[in-house]
Amino acid sequence: MSEPTPNISSYPLCKNALTCILSESNLIERIRADVTTSQSSIYSPSKNPQDFNSSKAIDGVQNYSIDSCKCCSVTHGPIPSWWQIDLGQKYLIGTLKIFGRAAKYNYQLENATIYAGNVSMKPGVNSNKMKIYNVPSMDAMTRNFTKQIDAIIAQYFLVELNQKELTLCEFKLYEKGCDIGHFGSGCLHSCHCSDNNGCNQVTGKCQTPGCKAGWKGEACAEDSNLIERIRANVTTSQSSIFSPYNNPQDFNSSKAIDGVHNYSVDTCKCCSVTNGKSASWWQIDLKQKYLLGGLQIFGRAADNNWQLDNATIYAGNVSMKSEIVSNKMKVYNVPSMDAKTRNFSIWFDAIIAQFFIVELNQIVLTLCEFKLYEKECNKGNFGSGCLHSCHCSDNNRCDQVTGKCRTPGCQAGWTGEACEDGESSRKG
């Protein structure tokens, strides 16, 4: 069963603990009707188990005198004592706040341990839990603690104390808001949504469906680089090979499509580097024609970025090594780079190509990664610029290069491999 998707657009997210506490955007306050709480036992001196049950720790009443308010959760049973909350689904949490008992009874919370997890953590049920906080020693003046967490995804929180009495007067949680374009534990994952708005903080799913060019997947976090998919079939070549260690494999042409994103060639040996006597070039042969809509190119770090500056990128359907052919289509001029700008993306208007070549008018060309992205025309179109029409009987997309229908057969009135020959075109 899939988990429900939190609506992240209907409430403010917290960038830091102070923002959360000042605005009192306690998550539990908002979702209280959907959460469940439980505890190891219930203290019941008046024989009424409702007086100090687990729900009292999320009732919104901040009063430290349990005898007068009966607004705290209190256990009185086997060791260890515990209290647990199930939020009903996963959230990205950045802060918690916990309230204990007043005066001389503060020992009923101090030294408790708080855990987080995505399954129930009741003792004996699950030992796989993540410790996030140890409640320090308390005095008569200190009855609550705030703990900022580094953006964790959790559905359950457990408070555990190694004695019979655990008193918890209030438990609060505050969500973490990652910067736009990030999500997940520690906000370490990236989403690339087409509308440049935030994605779901837990799953990364875009609020408005659709990914930026070059990305795919529910969270738009999967690089749709064509070369990654067909790497075993392509060939690369370059004008010369820089080989300071007498190992020509260190900086050969294949290093520009190895999938390693590292700009320090000396440490990673993951870039293609030339060292010839004249203009340098690097070329890739995709082995067949593709309809392409973009490319991404990565250069060297820091003060060596000149080794890709002002390079020119060409596309074609035959090899374009400068001594073989001069008929090539220019698609991009790499602009001047600085220490912070080491890669460039260019999106173009649907070109058909099998070969790409990078040329630089100097002896050293360093290319750390080269990526290509396919273009998908609207249904019923194909070819350069998506300017050609196909009329397949199944109304599905045709081959983006040739226009050939994937399921044989044309719509009525159309013929040809691409089903683009019709009565009107013949009369014209």
The pLDDT tens digits for 404-415 are 998 888 999 999
Band (pLDDT 50/70/90 cuts) for residue 140 is low
Q: Is the link from the previous residue into 244 a cis peptide, with omega within 30 of 0? A: no
Buried b (16+ CB within 10 A) or exposed e, 317-349: eeebeeeeeeebeebbebeebeeeebbbeeeee
User: Pairing state of beta strands 81-99 and 170-175?
Assistant: antiparallel
Classified as helix, coil or strand, 306 is helix
Q: Give how far Cα 44 sits from Cα of 52, 298, 422, Å.
A: 7, 67, 86
**Average pLDDT, integer, range 278-284:** 91
Q: Using the predicted structure, report yes or no on whether residue 139 has a pLDDT greater than 80.
A: no
CATH topology of domain 234-374: Jelly Rolls (2.60.120)
For residue 131, which of 172, 179, 96 has the smallest C-alpha distance? 96
**pTM, whole model, 2 decimals?**
0.68
- Among 82-91, 137-146, 294-303, 387-396, which range has the highest average pLDDT? 82-91
Q: Quick one: what percent of the chain has pLDDT higher than 70? A: 88
Q: What is the DSSP letter of 179?
A: P
**Average pLDDT, integer, range 16-26:** 55
User: Pairing state of beta strands 329-333 and 222-223?
Assistant: unpaired
Backbone angles phi, psi at 270, to 5 degrees: -120, 20
Strand partners, 38: 84
**Sole residue written with tokens 């050609």:** 388
Instruction: Render pLDDT for 60-85 as a digit per residue (tens, 0 to 9).
Output: 887 767 777 788 999 998 889 999 99
Kindly report which listed range (54-58, 286-290, 322-326) carries the lowest average pLDDT score.
322-326
Q: Report the pLDDT value the prediction gives residue 337, as an integer from 0 to 100.
A: 72
Task: Assign domain 17-175 to its CATH superfamily.
Answer: Galactose-binding domain-like (2.60.120.260)
Beta strands in 55-186 (DSSP E): 73-74, 81-99, 113-117, 130-134, 144-161, 167-168, 170-175, 182-183
**Sole residue written with tokens 């293609």:** 272
Q: What is the DSSP letter of 45?
A: T
Task: List the chain domain ranges.
Answer: 17-175, 234-374, 378-428
Please, what is the end-to-end C-alpha distance for the chain in angstroms? 57
Classified as helix, coil or strand, 133 is strand
For residue 365, which of 315, 286, 319, 298 has the smallest C-alpha distance? 298
Q: Using the predicted structure, report yes or no on whether residue 57 has a pLDDT greater than 90.
A: yes
Buried b (16+ CB within 10 A) or exposed e, 161-177: beebbbbbbbbbbbbbb
Identity of the amino acid at 392 = C
When comparing pLDDT for 354 and 137, which is higher?
A: 354
Q: How far is the C-alpha of 373 from the C-alpha of 224, rounded, in Å?
A: 7
Rounding to the nearest 10 degrees, give the CA dihedral for residues 45, 50, 52, 55.
170
When comparing pLDDT for 364 and 68, which is higher?
A: 364
**Average pLDDT, integer, range 77-95:** 94
Which conformational region is residue 416 in: left (phi greater than 0), alpha (psi within -120 to 50 degrees), or beta? left
Q: Give how far Cα 344 sits from Cα of 130, 160, 304, 310, Å.
A: 40, 52, 16, 12
Buried b (16+ CB within 10 A) or exposed e, 103-129: eebbebbbebbbbbbbeebeeeeeeeb
Q: Quick one: what percent of the chain has pLDDT higher than 90? A: 50
The answer to whether domain 17-175 and domain 234-374 are alike in fold is: yes
Long-range contacts of 206-210 (CB under 8 A, 24+ apart): 207/8, 207/9
Q: Which helix (H) or strand (E) segment is 226 a member of? A: helix 226-230
